[in-house]
Amino acid sequence: MRFDTIIVGSGLAGLSLALQLAERQKVGLITKKSLLGGASYMAQGGIAAVLSEDDSIEAHVRDTLVAGAGLCNEEVVRHVVSEGKEAIQWLIDRHVPFTHDPEDAGHYHLTREGGHSFRRIIHADDATGKAVQQTLVDQARENPNITILENHMAIDLITGSKLGLENNQCLGLYALDSVENRVKSIAADNTVLATGGTGKVYLYTTNPDTATGDGIAIGWRAGCRVTNMEFIQFHPTCLYHPKEKSFLISESLRGEGGILRLPDRTRFMPDHDERAELAPRDVVARAIDFEMKKRGIECVYLDMTHKGADFLRSHFPNIYSRCLELGINISREPIPVVPAAHYLCGGIATDLSGRTDVPNLYALGETACTGLHGANRLASNSLLECLVFSKAAARDILAKPPGEKRELPLWDESRVTDADEEIVIHHNWSELRRFMWNYVGIVRTRKRLERAQNRIRLLTEEIEEYYSNFRVSQDLLELRNLVLTADLIVRSAMLRRESRGLHFSRDYPEKLANAVDTVLKASP
């Protein structure tokens, strides 16, 4: 198979890039499951952009820099924020059904989330990702220049160094067709990794099952640098319920007046931060974690009962109905919540056009580390980043001349057999996620990180032996990628000898005077 550009991942970054490139190129779009199976689809809150006269570019820049705890690249922040209004207009032009202001039908309703000084979150009720993704997926399916390959998982990149060439350029990739159970070689002038984050490396996460760090692991094995992998954002409020393990309770509930309480109904956030419930996510998540461990409680509660049923049904219809299905009437009782792994602020190092260290290879969205988020992502900046950088990558790709066409080698299965005990994969997966939660979670110590590193070393040896001897499966590939991204997270955390943003160490509780990125360099 051959395309002008092959995109791995069908979230907002991958879809918006595909639609922009398809005006002039033949585009392949690989997705591990269905087009609507990723984290973008699950996004509730909305997209941050300066859209009101009260707001300003400077205010959005300032809020992003404050949340990023001194580690944001200010040039990148200003670029992304300045492009925000145009990015939203692109979605409006594609007929995304954003919610209008009930008091002024001529304007869109804007909500506010933690860390923002103004209302600037444009949304589609409380299911923004679903509305955006469904709109773009429908248009991608109708586009004759976009070939959609569902149930395909990228395995590794095919690069010049692997073929004995002097230039380590990316020439395409190998992908597992999970339906036909065979590996395909796919050639492309440009390859884009937009596979999302790595939340499934943790026991508790708001991420979908597909978030297994694939793009980051694939990029690292091809020779890309990765940056700031220690900064894992734990969302403060994931629904705590035995029948719902990853349902997010949106940040915007706190933006609309939600109050966090202990089981005895005591409010606790003012004791941790003067911004109380509107503090950035890292502050709120650590506060909840502190209260749970101090008091030996399983969860805390987000109280919206003072807002009334009519308000909650109109502003948060999906959250209201899902909680009601689970027996929780949020207009009459508080919502049980716990922190959960939510977003990776680090990733493959890229420039302002989404380019990586490997020629003809790009990374977008949560897979990339652009410098926008620093040590902590400001709420609702992630979808904005997807839009702005997909536009920049499209511009860069379309400005390049066509590449040299090469015949790529086929996948070699001549020395492997079918797996005899796949239960090993599931045991290793469970062990990895549990010790990452216990040792590399919201609060870290040197000792915990060393314990995690020792276990990762043993798992890596087992998994590589398994990978070398047996035919690949999606479960095996995901485990291989997860253990690698876990290693990158732990290595990065051990290098940071301070507490900053999302990385809190009991051994190094102070923040250093100079903010420096954690950069790991790979060998192709």
Measure CA 426 to chain center.
23
- pLDDT reading at 274 higher than 80: yes
What's the mean per-residue pLDDT of the chain?
93
Q: Does 225 participate in catalysis according to the annotation?
A: no
pTM of the model: 0.91
- pLDDT reading at 412 higher than 90: no
For the chain, what percent of residues have pLDDT higher than 70? 99
- pLDDT reading at 248 higher than 80: yes
Are 490 and 202 in contact, with CB atoms under 8 Å apart?
A: no
Which of 241-267 are b and which e, b meaning 16 or more Cβ less than 10 Å from the residue's Cβ? Answer: beeeebbbbbbbbbbbebbbbeeeeee
**pLDDT computed for residue 114 by the predictor:** 80
**CB-count burial class (<10 Å; 0-12, 13-18, 19+) for 203:** middle
Are 432 and 482 in contact, with CB atoms under 8 Å apart?
A: yes
Are 187 and 171 in contact, with CB atoms under 8 Å apart?
A: yes
The tally of CA atoms less than 13 A away on the side-chain side of residue 159 is: 23
Measure CA 228 to chain center.
14
For the chain, give every domain's residue range: 1-231+345-400, 236-341, 423-509
Question: Distance between CA 503 and CA 98 in Å, rounded?
Answer: 35
Are 129 and 44 in contact, with CB atoms under 8 Å apart?
A: yes
Identify the H or E element spanning 75. helix 74-82
Which of 297-320 are b and which e, b meaning 16 or more Cβ less than 10 Å from the residue's Cβ? Answer: eebbbbbbbebeeeebeebbeebb
| Residue 414 neighbours by CB under 8 Å, 6+ apart | none
| Residue 474 neighbours by CB under 8 Å, 6+ apart | 32, 153, 176, 178
Residue-by-residue DSSP string for 128-144: HHHHHHHHHHHHHHH-T
**pLDDT computed for residue 523 by the predictor:** 67
- pLDDT reading at 493 higher than 60: yes
What are the Cα distances from residue 447, in Å, to 71, 220, 228, 453, 485?
26, 26, 20, 10, 20
**CB-count burial class (<10 Å; 0-12, 13-18, 19+) for 327:** exposed
Are 129 and 137 in contact, with CB atoms under 8 Å apart?
A: no
**pLDDT computed for residue 466 by the predictor:** 84
Structure tokens at 240: 């705590």
Question: Regarding the domain delimited by 1-231+345-400, which CATH topology (the fold level of the hierarchy) does it fall under?
Answer: FAD/NAD(P)-binding domain (3.50.50)
**CB-count burial class (<10 Å; 0-12, 13-18, 19+) for 167:** exposed
Report residue 420's pLDDT band, with 50, 70 and 90 as the boundaries.
low
Question: Distance between CA 86 and CA 441 in Å, rounded?
Answer: 37
Q: Residues 123-167: pLDDT tens digits?
A: 999 889 999 999 999 999 999 999 999 999 999 999 998 888 888
**Of the listed 225, 281, 355, 448, which one is catalytic?**
281
Tell me which CATH code domain 423-509 carries: 1.20.58.100
Q: Residues 60-116: pLDDT tens digits?
A: 999 999 999 999 999 999 999 999 999 999 999 999 999 999 888 789 999 988 889
Question: Regarding the domain delimited by 236-341, which CATH topology (the fold level of the hierarchy) does it fall under?
Answer: Flavocytochrome C3; Chain A, domain 1 (3.90.700)
Cα-atom radius of gyration of the chain, to the nearest Å?
22
